[in-house]
């Protein structure tokens, strides 16, 4: 009984016809989708007007979007805005190709990205995938359906996309595609693999319109930085501690993964950072009978491996401003002098001097942080960037003087300014 209900639900979801004049499946000739300007021999943005004219120029876009509501087109300084009803199609320099269609969940024409064209066409719009067979356009999706039998109910994932693909690929090749279709998720790569195998098996021409669009770009980064270290601690009553000369210097190299095909505002930084400082600790403690002063100078060398996730909030051709959240592991090595401890007895003002370590450190620390940065274009895929960053190191140091029997843990805050290059 449950199987019968499941079958009925699938038929219900795929059986509702979505017929539109805008269904435009079929192999798209190179003369249509090609972004090579014949007058220059270089790739360029273009539009195809309602009368079929193909015009090359520049389409304004801050990010590598896959969704457009309108197209602002510049040809030799003449700027005009087009809507889906004004165009047949348009293309970008990077290979993205769009056609104007009316989708089943929209009453109006929209710019739809074409991922695959052939006898069957794979379309993409606002995170949703559609199959166009030339007569109807259907969304490839999974739906959750609660089926009730008596007092029992069960929620199942119904792969509507599997039924649609099986119906669209009927013929001699269906058995060969059966496993791929039944195990496909709602993912671009899964759909393209199925359609590619189907067209090859049937001997049909096709075009994958993502050949020139990488999933993401990877750039090499390097630079220098400087900053200050601050202590964050809860001192007991009668205790003061401070750092003298809290400056530190940094150098870093890394990779930036950016311009993701489906999330152009997101970027990821992977870095290796070296940090060095020479700092003096000073700690004062007192009670009714003693005044204790401790000081120690140490050289600190740090190797860090942070990962940051960035989000771009403003971008033009010349500048890109972004925020980031980060976390990483920090490896410490500290070389310090013996440390000087001065103990003064208040009842006779006698002072004793001794030598012993007063500061210890954690060799491995987890460090979260935040940053704000800006990229500045230098042309030819080269960028200069600047970042202000704040990191928080938990239990970075442990200090010990005479009045307390156990070390006091101290956290550290690092605030830095970095300048670097992205190549």
Write out 342-401 in H/E/C secondary structure.
Answer: EEEECCCCEEEEEECCCEEECCEEEEEEEEEEEEEEEECCEEEEEEEEEEEEEEEEEECC
3-state helix, strand, coil in the chain (%, to 5): 15, 55, 30
Q: Can you tell me whether residue 413 is helix, strand or coil?
A: strand
pLDDT of residue 421: 95
pLDDT in tens, the chain (423 residues): 444 444 444 433 334 333 333 556 567 888 888 899 988 888 899 999 999 999 999 988 766 667 889 999 998 889 999 999 999 999 998 888 999 999 987 888 999 999 999 999 999 998 899 999 888 899 999 887 777 666 666 777 788 889 999 999 888 888 888 899 988 888 888 999 999 999 999 999 999 987 666 778 899 999 999 999 888 776 666 667 777 778 899 999 999 998 887 777 889 999 999 999 888 877 777 777 778 877 778 888 999 999 999 999 887 778 889 999 999 999 988 887 777 777 888 777 887 787 777 777 888 999 999 999 999 988 777 899 999 999 999 888 877 765 555 677 788 899 999 999 999
- Reported as a single tens digit per residue, the pLDDT across 274-306 is 999 888 877 777 777 778 877 778 888 999 999
pLDDT of residue 4: 41
* Domains contained in the chain, CATH given: 12-208 (no CATH), 217-422 (2.40.160.20)
């Amino acid at each position: 009984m449950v199987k019968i209900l499941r079958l009925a639900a699938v038929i219900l979801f795929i059986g509702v016809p979505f017929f539109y004049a805008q269904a435009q499946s079929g192999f798209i000739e190179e003369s249509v989708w090609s972004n090579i300007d014949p007058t220059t021999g270089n790739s360029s943005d273009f539009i195809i007007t309602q009368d079929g004219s193909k015009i090359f120029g520049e389409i304004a876009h801050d990010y590598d979007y896959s969704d457009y509501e309108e197209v602002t087109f510049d040809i030799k300084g003449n700027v005009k805005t087009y809507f889906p009803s004004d165009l047949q199609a348009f293309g970008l320099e990077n290979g993205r190709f769009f056609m104007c269609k009316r989708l089943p969940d929209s009453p109006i024409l929209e710019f739809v990205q074409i991922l695959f064209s052939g006898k069957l066409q794979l379309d993409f719009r606002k995170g949703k995938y559609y199959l166009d067979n030339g007569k109807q356009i259907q969304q490839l999706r999974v739906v959750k359906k609660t089926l009730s039998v008596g007092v029992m109910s069960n929620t199942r994932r119904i792969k509507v996309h599997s039924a649609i693909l099986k119906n669209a690929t009927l013929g001699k090749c269906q058995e060969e595609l059966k496993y791929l279709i039944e195990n496909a998720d709602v993912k671009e790569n899964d759909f393209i693999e199925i359609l590619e195998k189907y067209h090859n098996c049937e001997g049909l021409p096709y075009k994958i319109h993502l050949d020139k669009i990488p999933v993401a770009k990877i750039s090499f980064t390097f630079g220098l930085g400087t900053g200050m270290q601050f202590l964050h601690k809860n001192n007991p009553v009668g205790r003061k501690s401070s750092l003298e000369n809290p400056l530190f210097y940094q150098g870093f190299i890394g990779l930036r993964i950016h311009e993701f095909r489906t999330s152009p505002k997101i970027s990821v930084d992977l870095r290796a950072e070296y940090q060095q400082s020479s700092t003096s600790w000073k700690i004062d403690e007192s009670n009714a009978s003693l005044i204790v002063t401790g000081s120690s100078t140490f050289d600190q060398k740090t190797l860090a491996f942070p990962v940051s996730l960035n989000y771009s909030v403003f971008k033009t051709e010349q500048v890109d401003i972004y925020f980031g959240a980060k976390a990483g592991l920090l490896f410490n090595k500290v070389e310090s002098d013996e440390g000087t401890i001065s103990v003064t007895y208040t009842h006779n003002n006698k002072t004793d001097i001794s030598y012993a370590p007063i500061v210890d450190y954690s060799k491995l620390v987890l460090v979260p942080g935040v940053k704000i940065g800006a990229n500045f274009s230098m042309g030819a895929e080269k960028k200069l960037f600047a970042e202000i960053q704040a990191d928080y190191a938990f239990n970075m140091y442990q200090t010990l003087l005479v009045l307390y029997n156990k070390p006091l843990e101290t956290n550290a805050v690092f605030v830095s300014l970095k300048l670097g290059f992205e190549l």
